[in-house]
Amino acid sequence: MRLIASISSGRVLRAATFVAVAVALLSGCQSPVRLMPSPIKFTSSEIDSFAEQHPDQFSADMRVFYATNRSVLIGGPDPIHTIFPADNLRLGVAHVRVGDGSMSPDEMRALSTSTDGRRRPALNLARMEQLAVLAPDAAVEDSPDALAYFAQINAALSRSASKGLIIYVHGANNPVWRGTAQAAQFQHFNGGGAVVLSFLWPSAGSILSYATDVRHTRASIPAFVRLVEMLARHTDAQKIDILAYSAGAQIVSPALAILATPRADESRTELRARLRLGSIYFAAPDEDTRRFADHLAQYADATSRVTVAANLNDSVLGWAARHHGTSRAGRPDPDELDEGQTQFLIDASNRRNCDLLKVDPQTLPGLGRRSHNFWMSHPWVSTDVLIMFRRDAAPLDRALVPNEMPRGTRFWTFGPDYEDRIRAVLRMSVEAATAPQ
């Protein structure tokens, strides 16, 4: 009996050890963020998209602004963040290094304008430079630290071409280093066109903690609302754009519905002027389809343009739908919508500034059928994101192709000749910019 008990306990111990190791591997060993493939905008001979890049910004050491509602384990100028939400909003600059940081500006330019498909260097978070900590009291927004932070954003805006500010909101399973790296590469490929700020909500950074991440997105909505209002008050941004990726939509969608609610005695025109919301791009949004439609109806007219990019074979959103028991906006089931929601989407897609973009792997060469991160992994989609933000451009001006569903909902796709069409668009933009006024 002792022998049997010993064998049984040994098996239990080995099983427990195996489970522990598997959990550690799944939660801790994430693939690095590598510099994304260069968008067509940067590999096209028709335009030098880095012509507007400020010399100080064009290096292997990238700086990207951040705001986070993560609590900290250790404070100070270089804090250690936890996975738990806090009432404070921490503001600073993340320093992200390309590879080992030894790449020269000329080498960075050559890499960034190349179609070479070889493995790209990893982006590594070197340090977090915390500049201000804002308690819930609104008065702290006028503190010397906060004003110095806004002054840095305004200095960067003064060097940008569009004077626009883009807030990037990452998805689930994203530790701090991943969210900053994704934002840094997006800022790099803006080519000096805009300033990017990463909202680092407290994701647990593990595929095993998705339920925790969902709870933390809900807890982060007030912080994001506060951030947008604060940036509208204290920065010189001519417009504030938002790129929401995956579960980031669970923050951005309800937050926009809150922001679009006018104050007492405030008109819709005054609200739009106060917030200066530009284009909103939802890339593979992991948000309840019905709730997303309801929110969209509340805030669509407070923005310049809304694009929802969806891959109907998205494997991550397929899993998320099973977890939630309802389809996701980035892989929607139209049958879940009631008649009012359906009619709103038909009207919005045809007569308003709401664009439904079908990312079809059959027409995008090299895109995996079940791709979830298509906005940064495929040059066609990343080009579309950049052009929309730069110009608040309508789909036809982004070389997209119109389609229509049986009930009349309009959606857009990348045609098989997209690359030729977008190069023509870029060529015309250069000609228009250089023509005598």
- Could you read off the pLDDT tens digit of each residue along the chain, which spans 437 residues? 443 444 344 444 444 333 333 333 333 446 899 999 989 877 766 565 566 555 555 678 899 999 999 999 887 778 899 999 999 999 999 999 998 888 888 888 888 888 876 778 999 999 999 999 999 876 778 889 999 999 999 999 999 988 999 999 999 999 999 999 999 999 998 877 899 999 999 999 988 999 999 999 999 999 999 999 999 999 999 999 999 999 999 999 999 999 999 999 999 999 999 999 999 999 999 999 999 999 999 999 999 999 999 999 999 999 999 999 999 999 999 999 999 999 999 999 998 799 999 999 999 999 999 999 999 999 999 999 999 998 889 999 999 999 998 888 999 999 999 999 998 888 887 656 555 65
Tell the residue number behind the tokens 């906060």, with chain if given.
146
φ/ψ (deg, to 5) at 95: -105, 115
Radius of gyration from C-alpha coordinates of the chain: 22
Alpha carbon distances (Å) from 19 to 16, 116, 207: 5, 40, 15
Residue 40, CA atoms < 13 Å, CB-side half-sphere:
22
Longest pairwise C-alpha distance within the chain = 95
* Res 430: pLDDT: 63
Host H or E run for residue 410: strand 410-413
Which of 343, 354, 350 has its CA nearest to residue 388? 354
DSSP state of 33: P
Question: What is the rounded CA–CA span in Å between residue 175 and residue 312?
Answer: 27
Neighbour order of strands in the sheet with 239-245:
123-134, 80-98, 61-74, 194-200, 164-169, 239-245, 277-283, 305-310, 354-358, 410-413, 401-404
Tokens of 6: 């010993």
* Paired residues of 199 in beta bridges: 67, 169
Total residues found in the chain within this entry = 437
Q: Which of 301, 305, 210 is nearest to 260 (CA)?
A: 301
Per the structure block, which two tokens stand in for 63? 């700086």
pLDDT value at residue 28 = 40
Are 95 and 171 spatial neighbours (Cβ–Cβ below 8 Å)?
A: no
Find tokens 């796709």 and name the residue. 413
Q: Are 407 and 424 in contact (CB under 8 A)?
A: no
Phi-psi domain of 149 (left: phi exceeds 0; alpha: psi -120 through 50; beta: other): alpha
Per the CB < 8 A criterion, the answer to whether 204 and 171 are in contact is no
Cβ within 8 Å of residue 314, ≥6 positions away: 284, 328, 330, 331, 370, 371, 372
Instruction: Decide if 409 contacts 356 (C-beta within 8 A).
Output: yes
Alpha-carbon dihedral of residues 322, 324, 330, 334, nearest 10 degrees?
A: 80
Tokens (6 digits) for 37:
């493939």
Q: Which residue has the tokens 């990312």?
A: 359
**Cα–Cα distance measured from residue 346 to residue 407, given in angstroms and rounded to the nearest whole number:** 8
- The three-class DSSP label of residue 68 is strand
How confident is the model at residue 105, as a pLDDT?
A: 83
- Could you give the number of structural domains in the chain? 1
CA distance 35 to 121: 6
User: CA 322, CA 396: separation in Å to the nearest integer?
Assistant: 35
Q: Which domain holds residue 411?
A: 2-434
Host H or E run for residue 41: helix 40-43
- The pTM of this model reads 0.90
Question: Each residue of 24-50: pLDDT tens digit?
Answer: 333 344 689 999 998 987 776 656 556
What pLDDT is attached to residue 74? 82
Q: With contact defined as beta carbons under 8 Å apart, do 423 and 115 qualify? A: no
364, 367, 368, 372 alpha-carbon torsion, rounded to 10°: -100
